[in-house]
Structure 1
Amino acid sequence: MIRILILLVGLCFLAGGCGQGGQDEDGVTTLRVRMWKAEPSGPTPAVLQKITDEFTMAHPEIKVSLEIISMQDFKEHIFHEVASSDPPDVFMTWAAGFLQTFVRQGTVMPLDDALAADPAWRKRFHPGVFENLTIDGHIYAVPSTEAVAVLFYNKRVFKDLNLAVPATFGDLLAAVPVLRSQGYIPLSMGNKDPWVGGMLAALLVERLGGMGPYRALEADALAWDAPIFEKAGHLLRELADGGAFAEDFNERSYEDSVADFREGRAAMAIMGSWVIPVFLESPTIIRDGLGAAPVPLVEGGRGSVNTWLGQTDLNFAISAGSRHKKAAIHYLKWFSAPFEQRRLMEATGNLVVADIGGDASIVPGVTRQILKLLDSRQQSYLFYDVRFGRGAGVAFNQTIKAILGGVPPGQAFSELQKAVSHARSLKPAQ
């Protein structure tokens, strides 16, 4: 029996009538800021700290108490922290369903007035970046970067073995025994944190059915036990049973799987572009070359290489209970300033969401590869645990973990649908 945790968000917190500012006893405003770090190492946390330090140098009347914690710990605690009587002033958030939880709680501040009051700030951003940060017509967070799911590959390994970069699922399966015979893990995978397998499953659902299943889920017009999900589950099992992953992949940590590719043990990795700074720290990757390609298509499927799984990333929101909202808005503006956006791209290789100007040649080569691929992007969709939130989205990830642990896909998704239906039946009438 699969135990699927459906998190019901039925509480409604009233936002406190806090003022727009206020100072601490020493006359200096102290902002409390909470961020996550997606990668186990890499320069991103140091860059975030550097940007924060420069902000405080330019604003001596403001101090920033910055805490950067692991992504998993962040997910587990941030809702309680923001809903507490002493919330952080600024916090990172994911978009859509994840952000919607704060909105429903009444614990996040809408940013429409702040953006309208500074048109130059609003105009910095690329078109469309606020789409999934808008809930019920109001913008609740400001992004700093964008992340897309990419097939990363070690160029030297593929050249030495005379392998073509997989363009289809069949190509990917065919590469597995070749890579195994040379001692490589074909595809790095660490599903101890189930969002990793959930990401792969979401990619396969699109490659099988195009955007139709995702749009139908959004419209509540498709059940979680629909055949398209079972097919995706079988494809994942085919990869696992065929030896594509490390033997202990379902209990292997995300950090270990990243290290497998970074240190040359794995030939490929399907991961969000947020991981680029970690890969670029590796002498092996720098020497051998880091390649990027679209996630392979499924033969006979309706997916497209011009459809990308991704989202705005490093999104900043302001707690409704903050006593320092004006200072918090200044902090958000600083992160989207052109010189700081450029610093983020140059130092980390992350994709940014605002114009940076200047010469792009000093941006890491793999980032330029991805930007070129994105030139033909036609549509995007979100990670399921972001779009469908802490309930069905997280349960989808747990279902994929169960499938990769040996539960038949049909049974797993049937139980997911039953759990979702039961959770919905418990929701109070609106």
Structure 2
Amino acid sequence: MKKLLALLLSMGLVLTACGGGRQDTGKSSGGQAADKPKELTVWLSDSETKLREAMQSSVDAFHESQNEVKVKVEYMDDEALKTKIKVAGAGGQMPDVFNYWSGEQFNSMVRAGVIADISDEILRDQAFIDHFSAGALDAGKVDGKLYSIAAGSSNVMFYYNKKIFAENDIAVPATWGELISAVGKLQDAGVTPIAVGAKDRWPLLFYFAYLSNRIGGTEPFMHAVTNEGDFTDPSFVEAGEKLRELAKAGAFGDGFLGMASAQSDAAFQTGKAAMILMGDWSIGTYADAGIDLGYFPFPAVENGKGDASLMHGGFGGIYAVSASADQDAATKFLKFIMTPEQRKNYVIAVGSPSSVKVNLEDSDINPIVADYLSNVGSIASGYFPYFDQAIDARRAEQILNAVVSIVAGAPDIAAELAKIK
């Protein structure tokens, strides 16, 4: 009992006695069937305009297809969603449907009992599951039961402005040394080399995660996840040193610690920065910005043990149903937005790979996005997970704070990483 209480407290998910459930019985106070449709509250982290527009198109199509279920969607940025989910769980007021990230933090919500097991509703529908790519639905399983549906696979990639690179005689960097050299050339030319939203912390964590994986491979992090090791492993310390090296080289420009992710996106899209390291959920937005867009994987680190073809990401962007939701209504909505037709529209608008198999032939899709989608499968040989989602919430907060401290000039990198426990 003490262990369960500690788990709930760590996620901020201690539930009220009543559960605050949103389940609609479909009956009026007099016991008669109500005429009004069932209502679903949906929270999504699609904060970018294109993401919202694509999802709202699916919501509108869902409303047009039936009149039994009404969906009310609230869009917010990533950090706001994480915070609201913790508060909602603690108050027993979870949304009926929401998107999140796979990993330990989601799994802890499953163990806390606030996420619905949707195995029966989804896995018995063979026609529906046949639409998914191999392994996609497995990403949503915890202890063999299905608790979420992965919307797609995500890849964290460097995007760059080809025009700026050409004007400064810069080749696409394949190694860390070449990236540092490119930063120096851009600095000399008066161009901000890399836009990063350090204020939100997670964009900085991308660099630390990639560097540690390129240096030490996947084993040190997986040992940290299971507490067989910790973040004082030499590969993490060296990753911190190289991240500081990048910051001290002026890679991120002035005032980057106060820059939000949306601001870094804007800097890249307007040609004020030459590169940005970001998930491919943003490629559609970048492709429509009017810049000559290119992309390349995170460079290899000289003498590193890691596989330079591994990508940060994997199946993610999961959709889940709360335990208090009307299960029939919620899964009806999920199945609709995950049909090939709706996912095709999403891919065309956003550009991010889908977990549902879609046919993009003869589609009105941005040529840059089409090129990316046709090549990304051959770029990545496999994936390693998002660090702040694969570990527990306490350590996730600590590692996010640590990377900010490192680039801000903390005197002892190893000591900062030792705080993650």
Q: Compared with structure 1, are the counterparts of its residues 165 and 195 closer, same or farther at alpha carbon in structure 2 (3 Å cutoff)?
A: same
Which of 22, 41, 49 is the equivalent residue of 1:32?
41
1:249-269 residue CA offsets vs partner (Å, 9 max, x unmatched): 122111111111111011111
Alpha-carbon distance, 1:356 to partner:
0.7
Which of 359, 362, 365 is the equivalent residue of 2:361?
359
Of the structure 1 ranges 256-265 and 274-283, higher mean CA displacement relative to structure 2 is found in 274-283
TM-score relative to the length of structure 1: 0.88
Amino acid at match of 1:275: S
Q: Compared with structure 1, are the counterparts of its residues 71 and 11 closer, same or farther at alpha carbon in structure 2 (3 Å cutoff)?
A: closer
In the aligned structure 2, how far is the partner of 1:302 from the partner of 1:370? 27
Partner SS, residue 196 of structure 1 = helix
Match status 1:180 vs 2:187? yes
* Number of the residue aligned with 1:318: 321
* Number of the residue aligned with 1:413: 417
TM-score relative to the length of structure 2: 0.90
1:98-117 residue CA offsets vs partner (Å, 9 max, x unmatched): 21131122101011111222
CA contact (8 A) 1:339 1:356 kept: yes
1:176-234 residue CA offsets vs partner (Å, 9 max, x unmatched): 12111222111111211111111210011111112222232233222121111110000
* Number of the residue aligned with 2:334: 332
* Number of the residue aligned with 1:400: 403
In the aligned structure 2, how far is the partner of 1:19 from the partner of 1:248? 44
In the aligned structure 2, how far is the partner of 1:180 from the partner of 1:58? 54
In the aligned structure 1, how far is the partner of 2:321 from the partner of 2:288? 32
Alpha-carbon distance, 1:77 to partner:
1.1
How many residues of Structure 1 are paired with residues of Structure 2 in the alignment? 404
Partner SS, residue 200 of structure 2 = coil
In the aligned structure 2, how far is the partner of 1:120 from the partner of 1:389? 36
Q: Compared with structure 1, are the counterparts of its residues 193 and 18 closer, same or farther at alpha carbon in structure 2 (3 Å cutoff)?
A: closer
* Number of the residue aligned with 2:143: 136
CA contact (8 A) 1:261 1:267 kept: yes
Amino acid at match of 1:93: Y
In the aligned structure 2, how far is the partner of 1:196 from the partner of 1:303? 21
* Number of the residue aligned with 1:262: 269
Partner SS, residue 214 of structure 1 = helix
1:257-306 residue CA offsets vs partner (Å, 9 max, x unmatched): 111111101111111111123213313x1xxx211111111011122232
Alpha-carbon distance, 1:21 to partner:
5.9
Of the structure 1 ranges 46-55 and 247-256, higher mean CA displacement relative to structure 2 is found in 247-256
In the aligned structure 2, how far is the partner of 1:77 from the partner of 1:319? 14
Partner SS, residue 199 of structure 2 = coil
* Number of the residue aligned with 1:49: 56
Q: Percent identity?
A: 27
Q: Compared with structure 1, are the counterparts of its residues 367 and 209 closer, same or farther at alpha carbon in structure 2 (3 Å cutoff)?
A: farther
Alpha-carbon distance, 1:331 to partner:
0.6
Amino acid at match of 2:419: E
Match status 1:147 vs 2:151? no
Mind listing any 5+ residue stretches in structure 1 that lack a counterpart?
Answer: 1-6, 421-430
1:38-82 residue CA offsets vs partner (Å, 9 max, x unmatched): 43xx31101111100100110112111111112221111112224
Partner SS, residue 144 of structure 1 = strand
Which of 86, 92, 97 is the equivalent residue of 1:79?
86
Which of 90, 93, 99 is the equivalent residue of 1:92?
99
In the aligned structure 2, how far is the partner of 1:167 from the partner of 1:415? 33
**Root mean square deviation of aligned Cα:** 2.2
In the aligned structure 2, how far is the partner of 1:380 from the partner of 1:368? 22
* Number of the residue aligned with 1:378: 381
Of the structure 1 ranges 338-347 and 72-81, higher mean CA displacement relative to structure 2 is found in 72-81
